[in-house]
Amino acid sequence: MRLALFDLDHTLIPIDSDYAWGQFTVQLGWRDAESHTRANDAFYEQYKAGTLDIHEYIRFTVQALREHGVAQSDAAHRRFMDDIIRPAIQPQALELVRRHQAAGDQVVIVTATNEFVTRPIATAFGVPELIAIDLERDAQGNPTGAIRGTPSFREGKVARVEQWLAERGLDWSRVAHSTFYSDSINDLPLLDKVHEPVATNPDARLQAIATERGWRILNLFA
């Protein structure tokens, strides 16, 4: 097997889908603009700094889903896709994914954003295989605010890819070649694990590490 792994936010799309979804719920009137934006901004700065408590963040991000239920949230997400995400999907990102698919690579999106936000985005890219943060749900299908299983964040991305491989009777030794595209210092554990790490639209710290180690740097949205 040849693996082509992609981070999502600021890698395949030039925005943060989780942050954008939060701001979209403000536009819908689901959240108070001032308090939500302040908290959302604070969490985003923690993410960029590599200090984010992912469990605390997920409790924050799914609060609107818990209050408005599955049907209303799904309808809102369809509007979110039309208004925010599809205009942000750029042809060069689609072409990169298609190139790996045409080469016979197994393409997987591996993201620290939750599956509610990202599953439709992966579908828009034509990628069935998604590793995202799985939300614990109650009997009615509503998120509880907790994470189910290992969060696909930092070292958890490595664990989740290994879980994905194991579910298919594979491990790293059965992967002939692996590539991972990411913009973030948070993804250093998985970048270190693959055969070909690609710093994609990298933040300053990842760019410095990529330059020092001789990794390929790809500015997809330059």
- The CB-side HSE value for 129 (13 A sphere, CA atoms) comes to 19
Which residues have a Cβ under 8 Å from the Cβ of 146 and sit 6 or more positions away? 55, 58, 59, 135, 136
Pair 3, 197: CB distance under 8 Å: no
| 9: nearest Cα among 152, 136, 179, 128 | 152
Catalytic residue among 7, 16, 105, 183: 7
The residue among 201, 222, 210 whose CA lies nearest residue 12 is: 201
Give catalytic status of residue 7 as yes or no.
yes
What is the helix, strand, coil percentage profile of the chain, to 5? Answer: 55, 20, 30
Per the annotation, the verdict on 16 as an active-site residue is: no
Helices marked H in the chain: 17-27, 33-49, 54-61, 63-80, 86-88, 91-102, 115-124, 155-166, 188-193, 204-213
Indicate the SS3 state at residue 187.
helix
- Distance of alpha carbon 40 from alpha carbon 35, whole angstroms: 9
Q: How many helices (H) and strands (E) does the chain have?
A: 10, 8
From the list 9, 18, 183, 187, the catalytic residue is 9
Task: Tell me which residues are annotated as active site.
Answer: 7, 9
